């Protein structure tokens, strides 16, 4: 089958026959061209749609990664705060146990409020830091 060119210069050199064979051939060529256009449209559609879907999924994934990173940071801070609170609770529990001991209370009163038992004399000795100030 010979290929036809439809430029204006070539149409001036020859006259197109108008018979059934030429019309059928032209229709066949037009059908092939239309089929080619449809194939191209399908290919473009099935190439672009997955690319768009993949782009949207990647966007969602990156957003979820950012959210996850923020939540991991909050979790780390909360765990650190929890550790500090547990240490403080242990210290306070120890202090509660000590305050329930009469000997510890007596020692604390002697130290803080300079209280004494009968027959005891309390001597206050200046610290080394007080000597430096003089």
What are the backbone dihedrals phi and psi of residue 114, each rounded to the nearest 5 degrees, phi first?
Answer: 55, 40
**Average pLDDT rounded to a whole number, residues 47-75:** 95
Residue that has been written with the tokens 């550790």 in this structure: 83
More confident residue, 38 or 106: 38
Joined tokens for residue 10: 């070539």
pTM above 0.75, yes or no: no
H or E element: which one contains 52?
A: helix 20-99
User: CA-to-CA distance for 74 and 76, rounded, in angstroms?
Assistant: 5
* Helix axes of 102-113 and 20-99: crossing angle, nearest 10 degrees: 80
Residue 58 lies in a domain: yes
* Residue 68, domain member (yes or no): yes
Q: Give dist(CA 88, CA 97) in Å, integer.
A: 14
Res 89: pLDDT: 97
In a domain, 2, yes or no: no
Residue 9 lies in a domain: no
Q: Does residue 71 lie in a domain region?
A: yes
pLDDT for residue 134 is more than 70: no
pLDDT at residue 30 greater than cutoff 60: yes
The mean per-residue pLDDT over the stretch 97-104 comes to 89
53 close to 46: Cβ distance less than 8 angstroms: no
Q: Taking residues 29-33, what's their average pLDDT?
A: 95
Percent of the chain with pLDDT over 90: 51
Q: What is the residue range of 94's domain?
A: 18-111
Output 2 or 73, whichever has higher pLDDT: 73
In-domain check, residue 118: no
Confidence of residue 127 (pLDDT cuts 50, 70, 90): confident
Is residue 3 over pLDDT 80?
Answer: no
Tokens of 77: 């801070």
Whether 8 is in a domain gets the answer no
Within a domain: 126: no
Domain count, the chain: 1
């Amino acid at each position: 089958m010979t290929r036809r060119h439809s430029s204006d210069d070539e149409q001036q050199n020859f006259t197109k026959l108008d018979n059934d064979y030429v019309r059928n051939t032209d229709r066949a060529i037009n059908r092939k061209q239309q089929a080619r256009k449809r194939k191209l449209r399908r290919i473009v559609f099935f190439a672009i749609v997955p690319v768009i879907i993949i782009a949207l999924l990647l966007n969602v994934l990156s957003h979820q990664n950012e959210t996850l990173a923020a939540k991991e940071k909050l979790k780390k801070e909360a765990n650190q705060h929890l550790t500090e609170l547990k240490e403080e609770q242990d210290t306070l529990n120890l202090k509660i146990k000590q305050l329930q001991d009469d000997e510890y209370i007596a020692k604390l009163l002697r130290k803080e409020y300079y209280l004494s038992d009968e027959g005891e004399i309390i001597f206050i000795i200046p610290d080394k830091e007080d000597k430096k100030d003089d």
